[in-house]
Chain A
Amino acid sequence: MSESTRQNTMYGLMAEFDSAEELVKSARTASEAGYRELDAYAPFPVEGLAEAVGFPKTRLPMITLIGGFIGCFGGFFLQVYPNVFGYPLNIGGKPYYSWPSFIPITFELTVLCAAVSCVFGMLILDGLPTPYHPVFNVSRFELASRTKFFLCIKARDKKFDRERTKEFLQSLSPKGVSEVPV
């Protein structure tokens, strides 16, 4: 493989660290150095790491809220239409539009739709399921779900240069730096 094609077939460069603190610090340094296409990998959620790689906020709460509203209004309508218009039933002389008795199901459906949109929203935003991802080509990456912490600068970053980025990552004193083939 020639040098120029390798640049195109590279996903990025990955540095390995021993602790969460080092990873957060290095991710901050990298984004201060002007790298924008970063990602960090850890075996558990690390406080401040998402912010350090330039991801301050997620849209998930809004998605969940919208899901909840859909469930709430949909659930209420689901009961009002059949029991008031579609198939009115006289139960113990209660008014057809006896809305308090529609509240429990409205609540349950609010919860159901909010939870479903939360979980599926998370998966869709994450892009999961991902059957193939380049980071798994790094053999040491298996440890990302165990003990090790990784910082990846992607090749599509404007500032990315194979040699200079490698030097930069080395300057963060990692355990090792490896190339991530596509």
Chain B
Amino acid sequence: MDPVIEEKPSLVTPESPWIGAGQSYASVTDKIGGIVLTEKTPKGWFLGFGIAIIFVLILNMAISYLFAVGVGIWGINVPIAWGFAIVNFVWWIGIGHAGTLISAFLLLMRQKWRTSINRFAEAMTIFAVMCAGMFPLLHMGRPWLFYWMFPYPDTMGVWPQFRSPLVWDVFAVSTYFTVSLLFWYTGLIPDFGTFRDKAKNLFVKKIYGMLSMGWRGSAVHWKRHETASLLLAGIATPLVVSVHTVVSFDFTIALVPGWHSTIFPPYFVAGAIYSGFAMVVMLGIPLRKFYHLEAFITERHLNNMAKLLLATGFIVTYSYVMETFMAFYSGDQYERYMMMNRMTGPYAPWYWLLVACNIVIPMTFLWSHKIRTNTVSLFLIATTVQIGMWLERFIIVVTSLHRDFMPSAWGMYYPTKWDWAVLTGSMGLFLTLFYLFIRVMPAISIFEVRELVHKTVEESAH
């Protein structure tokens, strides 16, 4: 007979940097599960959701009018045929990148601090890609013919032109969406099982039971689940780099001054991670505050994300500097003019605002530990970065197109109210989806936090 194993209370004592003191398997389950299953939905949720829905209605109106009348309602025209649609597309898809990076890359690096932020960051990825994917379709003019971009044997006998980066985009974005969704759902299965077992209402129990597919936490299933998570992480990490690389190819394959540059792929990927982490911070801080999740999203988590903002911000800064340097070093008059026009031309105020938002403000303040760990200042800086990253894409798209080679072909771009309606509407759509997500799904991965409790207790015992 075995000796009786001393019963260890699985309680986190003392506090670890990644999880608050006093947490146990049960408390973790109750706190995160309770947000969805037992706690009363806070009034603020209804308020926020209501506001977000208003913007969805605006989006609905803008899209309906767009379908009825055509893309002429936007400010786009030759020479600037891309406008807000592509700016928003690149911005949204960039935001998505941090979610995959947190869930995949940090998993491969065995970073414990991903545990309590990966779930909502992945949700952010999926919703951001949904918003992003909308824009090229809306921009097509005849969105109902979008399926022409897919290779299928049609009666017209034509095939897509696979040498075009715009077709690469279709594959990159749809792959990105599918893989992110699969990764997210795989992680959610065990937590849906917890919800099924925890729910009191029979209808709710059945819904989560179906979503959990009958997950029972078998050791064999866990083993496969862990293997699958690792494999998906290994697959998703190069994928995330490839997606924004392909997005940057949309620009670099063209010969337009300011676009035709080899620095674009890494520059875009760094920018994407920069804006993505800013969005994780912007979502994480309110989530933590209003749902009292300080024990899970600790000060250290925010500090780490802020440090990552600082690091990626530096890569972005370096890219801006190199872009400017290369424009002059190239000796190409069009490249030189493009850069001079950016800095002193009609869009110069926006360029300098972008420099302020992306470089000056974050690079000055994020060095301070006090500012990094203060939720208000960190939130404001993240907002600044978000605005800066949107402006960056605006500057790239518009300043290169509006004055390219022949002065006779130059023009100006002014967004219309419908441009703004679609941009703000897409933000509303994103927030609506996110509000629904925190209402019906575990915003923090329950089983991974349980595992974190287990490992923390184990480590402190040694």
Query: Do A and B actually bind?
Result: yes
User: Which chain A residues have a beta carbon within 8 Å of chain B's beta carbons?
Assistant: 18-22, 25-27, 29, 39-46, 49-50, 52-53, 55, 58, 60-61, 64, 68, 78-79, 82-83, 86-87, 89, 91, 94, 98, 101-102, 104-105, 107-109, 111-112, 114-116, 118-119, 121-123, 125-126, 128-133, 135-136, 141-147, 171-173
Our pick among B197, B249, B448 for the contact of A146 (Cβ within 8 Å) is B197
A122 and B4 contacting across the interface, CB-CB below 8 Å:
no
Query: In the complex, are the beta carbons of A42 and B217 less than 8 A apart?
Result: yes
State whether the Cβ of B225 lies closer than 8 Å to any Cβ in chain A.
Answer: yes
Contact yes or no, B222 A111, CB < 8 A? no
Given A115-B179, A119-B182, verify A108-B222 contact (CB < 8 Å). no
Question: Do A118 and B26 touch (CB < 8 A)?
Answer: no
Give the total number of A-B pairs whose CB atoms are below 8 A apart. 211
Contacts of A131 in B (CB 8 A): 214
How far does the alpha carbon of A45 sit from the alpha carbon of B447 in the complex, in Å?
A: 8
Question: For the complex, what is the distance from the CA of A79 to the CA of B150, rounded to whole Å?
Answer: 11
20 sample A-B contacts, Cβ–Cβ < 8 Å, listed by A number: A19-B5, A40-B218, A43-B194, A58-B223, A87-B159, A104-B172, A104-B246, A104-B249, A108-B171, A108-B246, A111-B235, A114-B231, A115-B235, A118-B232, A128-B221, A133-B216, A144-B197, A145-B194, A145-B196, A146-B194
Q: Give the residues in chain A near B226, CB-CB below 8 Å.
A: 45
Residue of A nearest to B221 (CB): A126
Output the nearest chain A residue to B448 by Cβ-Cβ distance.
Answer: A44
Instruction: Give A60 Cβ to nearest chain B Cβ, in Å.
Output: 5
CB contacts under 8 Å to A, within B167-224, are: 167-168, 171-172, 175, 178-179, 182-183, 185-186, 189-190, 193-194, 196-198, 210, 213-224
Chain A, Cβ-Cβ closest to B169: A104
Q: Given A25-B2, A105-B171, do A55 and B232 touch, yes or no (CB 8 Å)?
A: no
A126 CB contact (under 8 Å) in B151, B167, B178, B224? B224
B72 within 8 A of A: no
Q: 1/0 per residue B429-461: CB within 8 Å of A?
A: 000000000000000000110110010000000
Closest to A52 in B: B219
Cβ-defined contact, A19 with B8, below 8 A? yes
Ranked 3 nearest A-B pairs via Cβ: A82-B159, A130-B214, A129-B213
- Kindly state whether residue B238 has any CB partner on chain A within 8 Å: yes
Cβ distance B63 to chain A, nearest Cβ, rounded Å? 27
Nearest chain A CB to B241 CB, angstrom units: 10
State whether A172 and B219 are in contact (beta carbons under 8 Å apart), knowing that A44-B451, A118-B231, A145-B194 are contacts in the complex.
Answer: no
CA distance A105 to B402 in the complex (A): 31
B1-52 interface with A by 8 A CB criterion: 1-2, 4-5, 7-8, 10, 24-26, 29
- Measured CB to CB, the closest approach of chain A to B273, in angstroms, equals 19
- Given the known interface contacts A115-B178, A118-B228, A122-B224, the answer about A171 and B1 at a Cβ–Cβ threshold of 8 Å is yes
Which residues does chain A contribute within 8 Å of B197, judged by CB atoms? 142-146
In which size bucket is the chain B interface?
A: 35 or more
CB distance from B302 to the nearest CB of A (A): 25
A78 partner, pick from B29, B151, B238, B451, beta carbons under 8 A: B151
Question: Is chain A's interface secondary structure helix, strand, loop, or mixed overall?
Answer: helix
Chain A CB count within 10 A is highest, among B158, B220, B447, for B220
Inter-chain CA distance A144–B220, complex, in Å, is 14
CB atoms of A171 and B2 under 8 A apart: yes
Q: Is the CB of A128 within 8 A of B7?
A: no
Is the CB of B262 closer than 8 A to any CB of chain A?
Answer: no
- B171 touching A22 by the CB < 8 A rule? no
Residues of A within 8 A of B165 (CB): 104
B239 neighbours in A (Cβ, 8 Å) = 108, 111
Say yes or no for B157: interface residue by CB 8 A criterion.
yes
B219 touches A20 (CB 8 A): no
Cβ–Cβ contact B7 & A19, under 8 A? yes
Would A144 and B217 count as touching, CB distance under 8 A? yes
Which of chain A's residues has its CB closest to B222's CB? Answer: A45
A122 and B186 CA atoms in complex are apart in Å by 9
Q: Which residues of A contact B213 (CB under 8 A)?
A: 123, 128-130
Asked if A173 and B221 make an inter-chain contact with CB atoms under 8 angstroms apart, the answer reads no
Query: Which chain A positions have C-beta within 8 A of B416?
Result: none
Q: Is B242 part of the binding interface, using a Cβ–Cβ cutoff of 8 Å?
A: yes
Contacts of A60 in B (CB 8 A): 224, 227-228, 231
**Are the CB atoms of A58 and B178 closer together than 8 Å?**
no
Nearest residue (CB) in B for A119 is B182
Nearest CB of A to B8, in Å: 6
Given A49-B222, A82-B159, A126-B218: 19 more A-B contacts, CB < 8 Å: A42-B222, A43-B447, A44-B451, A49-B219, A53-B219, A60-B224, A83-B159, A83-B161, A83-B162, A86-B159, A108-B242, A108-B246, A109-B175, A122-B227, A123-B213, A126-B224, A129-B213, A130-B214, A146-B194
